[in-house]
Amino acid sequence: MTSVKVKICGLTREADMLAVAKAGVSYAGLVFFAKSPRNLGLAQARDLALAAPPGLAKVALTVDADDDMLDAILHEVPLDMLQLHGRETPQRVSALKARYGLPVMKALGIADAEDLRKIDLYAGVADQLLIDAKPPTGSALPGGNGLAFDWRLLQARKYWALPWMLAGGLSAQNVAQAVQLTGARQVDLSSGVESAPGLKDADQIAAFMQAVQGL
C-alpha cells in the first residue's frame, strides 16, 4: 500500500467507481456543478455512491452551493465529505461543518506566493485543504482544468497542522516530482486519468497508482 493517498475526482460511471476502488484509491470525488462536464444528477450520484465499496471515501465537490442545494444532495446521496471549491469563507466552512456533521475540505487556488496567505485563513476551520492551481482568467471551472502551478512555492511550507492534498495537472509522469517538491502525502486528480472529459480510463488510473507506489 502506498503511503501517498490518492483522490480521483469527477467520476461519472459505475465502472469508474469500481476501477478506482480496485486500484487502491482512497477518495472518490463526485461533482455537483452544472458547468462541469463531470456534473452529476442526484439519482446518478446516488447510484455511484452506492456502488462504492466500504473504505472508499465519497467526496461531494460543490461550488458556492447554498443550503437548499446541499440539503438535496445529502438527503439523496450517501457521502463522507464535502469539498468546497468556490469562494466560501472560513465562516461558511464552519457553518457547514456544524449543519451537516461531515468533514469539510476547502479547495484553494494558488498561482503565486501571495495566494499562500489564504491557507492560514482556512487551516483553523477546515478538516482538510486542497491546494490546487488557480484557474485561468475567464475559466468557467474552478478546477479540473489540467493545469499545474509552480510546486516550488510549497517547498518552504510543506507541512500544515491539518491534512492537505496537492492538485492541478498531476499525471503518472509528474506525480513523483510533485511529491518530492511539495512533500504532499495526498494528491488529487481528475483530467489526468481521463480518455475524454468526464470519462475515466482504468488503464490510466492503474498507471497513476503504480507511479505513486512507494512514494
Query: Residue 57: how many CB atoms within 10 A of its CB?
Result: 16
**Is the pLDDT assigned to residue 128 strictly greater than 60?**
yes
Can you identify the CATH homologous superfamily of domain 5-212? Answer: Aldolase class I (3.20.20.70)
pTM equals 0.91
Specify the residue for cell string 455512491: 49
> What pLDDT, on a 0 to 100 scale, did the predictor assign at position 1?
44
**Is the pLDDT assigned to residue 187 strictly greater than 80?**
yes
Give pLDDT tens digits for 7-37.
999 999 999 999 999 999 999 999 999 999 9
Cα–Cα distance, 149 to 184 (Å, whole number): 14
Measured CA to CA in angstroms, residue 129 lies from 60, 69, 142, 161 at distances of 14, 22, 15, 10
Q: What is the mean pLDDT of residues 173-191?
A: 93
Going by pLDDT thresholds of 50, 70 and 90, the confidence category of residue 144 is low
Of residues 3 and 68, more confidence is placed in: 68
> What pLDDT, on a 0 to 100 scale, did the predictor assign at position 161?
77
**Is the pLDDT assigned to residue 135 strictly greater than 80?**
no
